[in-house]
Structure 1
Amino acid sequence: MVDVADKVAYFQAITGVEDTDLVAEILSAHNWDLELAISSFTSPDQRSGLNLDDNINDTNNQSLLPRHNDFDEFVTDQLVRDEFVTTNQTNPRSGLVVNEQTQPPPGLVWKLVTLPFSIVSASLGLVSGAIGLGFWAAGGVLSYTFGLVGGRGGSGSGEAPVSAAVSEAAAFVAVFEREYGVIRPGFVVEGFMDALQRSRREYKLLFVYLHSPEHLDTQGFCERTLCDEAFAAFVNENFVAWGGSIRMSEGFKMSNSLKASRFPFCAVVMAATNNRVALLQQIEGPKSPEEMLAVLQRVLEESSPVLVSARLEAEERRSNIRLREEQDAAYRAALEADQARERQRKEEQERLANEAAEAERKLKEEEEARERAAHEAAEKKAALDRLREEKALALGAEPEKGPDVTQILVRFPSGERKGRRFLRTTKLQSLYDYVDSLGCLEAEDYTLFSNFPRVVYGQDKLSLSLEEAGLHPQASLFVEINS
């Protein structure tokens, strides 16, 4: 538990009140609840002219606490105020003029929605044991109990949404660039948890800067040290940098977790085992670029063996994983090849069986078709024979020559000729019946015609007599197969 001196120092660092007795009295009035005391002191009611003595004596005055309908509303309220306005307030007990920011830090609500956060403070010589190379090499997943420091959001009530942490980081970077320029450490636009995991993935340490806008040394430290070109280049090359304002939710929580009691405040941390963060170095108070570089260089040199070993072990682990994957892939390929050959063998057997069955089926179908065709041909031939006989009988006996008899000669496409005598009153239909009865044609659709001049005796003339058709007393007709 944080002792009395630490609470007093922290209250002074946050509020800017220099009177130690006054700070102790404020904290005592709030049962030494640091967050409640800070929230009450920086409440809008205090800035509107309420007497400080009256307010600190009433620890149950709920008007001093920020009120919000839900967590998202509270975070949004913290983010939208990126302009910091300083007002002067005279403390009625001490006469001290306190520079106070118009935007209060996160209030008591953070005590209700966050979980404890473990910080391992150790010298670099002992850090390798706390880190655990396996954690870095295997890339183990940090527990979501880091919800305190703005990690990845989840369904638990103690974890802030990812968008809130990212928005705070973006707001901090935007304000910092606007006030101090673009030559600065490359603060990542991520929550602390994501920045910590980024440093683990890149095998770097995490440089943390907590920004106290109202502190007297802040502007000079930012302008002369953080924005020093050589210092910024060194940090960007060797560290992952994360910054946050203590006037915002995540920055305020980190200042609690790291027990920041003096500003400007910087720290160097790295991910450790058992869901903890190893605090390698903290730097409090204003420092020159040279002093900061010396400290960071020393931390970097002392932690280098740990990072190098972790990197080598990770590469070896990745190599082993890659080798196992290649072996597994080779085994799977061999197994798949065996399975493919077995499938091909079965498919070939099935194909041959199917082909044999298909050939047998086709042979049977062809045989049935031949039998059916032969049967149909026989039936057709029998039908034609009957038809020819019927038509021959219908023609009657061939008449003897005489003036009423017409001689007809029929020439077939094969060159064969057939002739017969008919009465002149015989219809042209009888000529077609005569041709059909001869059985000289395989085609059933044909037409009779004469040459010189060409006259076709088609369906429209079948009812004419031979004399009416101009074929009496004799004529020579040709057979034309219709296509």
Structure 2
Amino acid sequence: MSDELDIDQLSPTERSALETHTAVTGQEPAEAIALLRRSQWNVQIAIAKFFDGEGPDPLEEAREALQSPPVRPARRTQNLMSDDLTEHFSPAARSADPAPRVDTQPEDQPSYRPPLIIALLFTPFNLVYRLLYSSFRLFGSLFPFLPRLFNATANPALQGARLNTTGRRPLGPKDTAARFIREFEEEYGSHSVPFLENGYNMALEKSHRDLNFMLIVLLAPEHDDTSGWVRDTLLAPEVVEFINDPQNNLLVWGGNVQDSEAYQVANSLKCTKFPFAAVIVHTPNVSSTAMSVVGRIAGTTSPSEFVTRLRTTITTNQEPLERIRATRSEQQASRSLREQQDSAYERSLAIDRERARQRREAEAARQREEQEAADRQAAEEKKLRDLAQWKQWRAQSLGAEPDIDVKDAVRISVRLPSGERIMRRFAPDANIEELYAVVECYEVLQDESRPTDVTKPEDFEHQYGFRLVSPMPRAVYAVEEGGTIRDKIGRGGNLLVEPIEEEEEEEEEDEEEGEKVATSS
């Protein structure tokens, strides 16, 4: 089945657990779902299995035992003295203790508060219990081995009950860390120790991810040496300077053992004496994801001794981290180089695409201009053909010139731009457009073999490209004004042909439009 189908079948709580697990570990969803199912969907257990390695499953071992006959173990002979000496003197054996992980209270888990009546009824029992418990704690501080013995032999349910009887309100890991930092500042004033404001597990993940050493500081406020050790050792200038030195790559996480999380960390680190400090670091020689406890500092120590032990621990375990950092640097450099190459390729590809787009646009513009020029040429040719056809049609529809004996005939002399002169007589009731048509069709009228059955061109509106004027006094006889030749010019006259320029035509059109607007308004 696909991962999408498995994710769709998960409940909201299981999806939230899957998102938290993948955000911390970066594991693939399919593998993370399988690991969470084997961990009963407990995120803390799944994360611990991912980083520390997953141990054998008792159920699976039981099934295999039922299916296959038991194998008789081979006889093994060992030298106890040799093994003990090897374990005692081998640095790897001393420094390979796996860093524990704790099951913390979910941040969204509400705290239970009993009803007021029940709380009042059980108040005497609560007071007696607190008195007995305080006495036991005092007795345990005098004999430190007793709490350890009790924790090792007591029922886990009783141990869990111990975590909730400190009188402190249980909070989530992040809020617990913030409370510890606030109480530390209230007790010891302002300081320069950079405590992490995260839970223990998140601090462990940050140390593993950034390849830093993590200094765990566990404090017991009821212990007599806690206040003096914090003021004289932990907050000493040389210790603070060593912790804040960037070359040491040191993270600091602190906890109050009165809190559930810090108490579990103290038990997991086998803390037998307070104040207590431990150094945890990633140990690649053990496994690729292992976090190990490489140093413990229990009890009161001087600042110089504390710094010396920290420096020795860091120096001893620095070389494997440097190799991993160098490997990561090479991988990062290779990744950056690939990203730069990909970026350069993308830029080159973008430039090529832009050039191709410009070429396409230039080609399209050229084709468009050629098409527009062809359309203009075709329109101009059609206009010339229609004009020639119109002249043929208009020439055959001109009225005949009156005879000489017609007394009211109007005699007009028109001088063309070429210098030629047109002499023609018109009937007294002939329209002024008749005179314009004679001038326009003069060349056609000269051809005696012209056709006489020409039709008027369709979708063609003829416009005269000239006007007739009289030189002295100057008068313009516009064809648009209409009227007869006799009324406009008289019994005769000499006229000139003036071509109309395009700018003049546009001005005349604008004036006509302005007159129309003024008339309509």
Report the counterpart of residue 493 of structure 2 in structure 1.
475
Unaligned runs of 5+ in 1: 1-10, 44-100, 107-162
Distance 2:404 2:499 in 1: 31
Shift of 1:328: 6.0
- For 1:165, the equivalent position in structure 2 comes to 173
User: Where in structure 2 are the equivalents of 1:403-414 lying within 5 Å?
Assistant: 403-414=407-418
Deviations 1:162-193 (CA, angstroms, capped at 9, x unpaired): x9323222221121011112346432223223
Q: Contact between 2:141 and 2:223, CA under 8 Å: does it hold in 1?
A: no
CA distance in 2: counterparts of 1:36 and 1:206, whole angstroms: 31
> Partners of 2:404 and 2:390 in 1: how far apart?
31
* Corresponding residue number in structure 2 for 1:389: 396
1:215 matched to 2:223? The reply is: yes
Mean alpha-carbon deviation: is it higher for 293-302 or for 252-261? Answer: 293-302
Q: Distance in 1 between matches of 2:311 and 2:498?
A: 111
CA distance in 2, matches of 1:412, 1:209: 116
Does 1:182 pair with 2:190? yes
Counterpart for residue 456 of structure 1: 476
- Deviation, structure 1 residue 476: 1.2
1:39 aligns with 2:161: yes
Using the size of structure 1 for normalisation, the TM-score is 0.55
Cα contact 2:436–2:479 (8 A) shared by 1? no
Please say if 1:283 is aligned against 2:297. Answer: yes
* Change over 3 Å in CA distance of 1:247–1:414 after alignment to 2: farther
The structure with the largest helix share of the pair is 2
Paired residues for 1:318-467 under 5 Å: 318=328, 320-321=330-331, 377-378=384-385, 380-391=387-398, 394=399, 396-400=400-404, 403-424=407-428, 426-439=430-443, 444-459=464-479, 462-464=482-484, 466=486
2:268 corresponds to which residue? 257
Pairs within 5 Å for 1:28-107: 32-33=154-155, 36=158, 39=161, 43=165, 102-103=167-168
Determine if contact 1:196/1:271 at 8 Å carries over to the other structure: no
Q: Is the 8 A contact 1:206 1:268 kept in 2?
A: yes
- Partner residue, 1:205: 213
Amino acid in the other structure paired with 1:257:
S
SS in 2 for 1:222: helix
Contact 1:443 1:481 in 2 (8 A): no
Aligned position for 2:251: 240
Identity of aligned residues (%): 23
Cα shift at 1:297: 1.4
Q: Is the 8 A contact 2:410 2:425 kept in 1?
A: yes
Q: Tell me, in whole angstroms, the C-alpha distance in 2 between the residues paired with 1:307 and 1:194.
A: 22
1:226 correspondence with 2:234: yes
Structure 1 Cα separation of the partners of residues 209 and 463 of structure 2: 92
CA distance in structure 2 between the aligned counterparts of 1:447 and 1:260, rounded to whole angstroms = 118
Separation (CA, whole Å) in 1 of partners of 2:402 and 2:301: 143
**1:269 alignment partner, one of 259, 266, 280:** 280
Question: Which structure 2 residue ranges, 5 or more long, are not aligned?
Answer: 1-132, 446-461, 506-521
- Residue 289 of structure 1 deviates from its aligned partner by 2.0
Partner secondary structure for residue 103 of structure 1? coil
Root-mean-square deviation (CA, aligned residues, Å) is: 5.0
- 1:435 positional shift: 2.6
Counterpart code for 1:478: L
Cα 1:324–1:419, aligned 2, differ >3 Å: closer, same or farther?
Answer: same
1:42-76 CA distance string (max 9 Å, x none): 74xxxxxxxxxxxxxxxxxxxxxxxxxxxxxxxxx
In structure 2, the CA distance between the partners of 1:419 and 1:256, relative to structure 1 (3 Å rule), is same
**Which amino acid letter does the alignment assign opposite residue 321 of structure 1?**
Q
Map of 1:15 onto structure 2: 137
Q: Which residue of 1 aligns with 2:70?
A: none
Kept in 1, the 8 Å contact 2:281–2:294? The answer is yes
What is the rounded CA distance, in whole Å, between the counterparts of 2:473 and 2:313 in structure 1?
125
Distance (Å, rounded) in 2 between the aligned partners of 1:332 and 1:319:
19
**1:317 matches 2:321:** no
Once the 2 structures are TM-superposed, how far is the Cα of residue 307 of structure 1 from its aligned partner? 0.7
Cα distance between partner residues in 2 of 1:244 and 1:195: 12
Question: What code does the residue aligned with 2:493 have?
Answer: A
How many residue pairs were aligned? 339
Structure 2 residue 305 is matched with structure 1 residue 294: yes
Structure 1's 325 and 457: CA in aligned 2 closer, same or farther, altered over 3 A? closer
Structure 2 CA distance for partners of 1:262 and 1:340, relative to 1, 3 Å: closer
Map Cα deviations across residues 390-409 of structure 1 (whole Å, 9 max, x no partner): 21xx2x24421675343221
Could you tell me whether the CA contact under 8 Å between 2:215 and 2:278 is conserved in 1?
yes
Larger mean CA deviation between 170-179 and 247-256 belongs to 247-256
Counterpart CA distance in 2 for 1:439 and 1:331 is 77
**Distance in 1 separating the partners of 2:281 and 2:135:** 25
Structure 2 CA distance for partners of 1:410 and 1:260, relative to 1, 3 Å: same
Whether the 8 Å contact between 2:281 and 2:291 is mirrored in structure 1 is yes
What amino acid is the match of 2:305? A
Deviations 1:351-408 (A, max 9, x none): 89x97xx98x969x95x987886576445423312321221xx2x2442167534322
Deviation at 1:263, TM superposition (A): 2.3
* Whole-angstrom distance in 1 between the partners of 2:230 and 2:336: 52
Work out whether residues 168 and 259 of structure 2, in 8 Å CA contact, stay in contact via their aligned partners in 1. Answer: no
Report Cα offsets for 1:415-474 as digits up to 9, x if no partner: 3211123454545444334334423899724333323333333347643351x44522x3
Q: Deviations over 1:15-59 (max 9, x none)?
A: 3334999x989x99x98226626736974xxxxxxxxxxxxxxxx
SS of equivalent residue, structure 1 residue 16: helix
2:178 partner amino acid: A
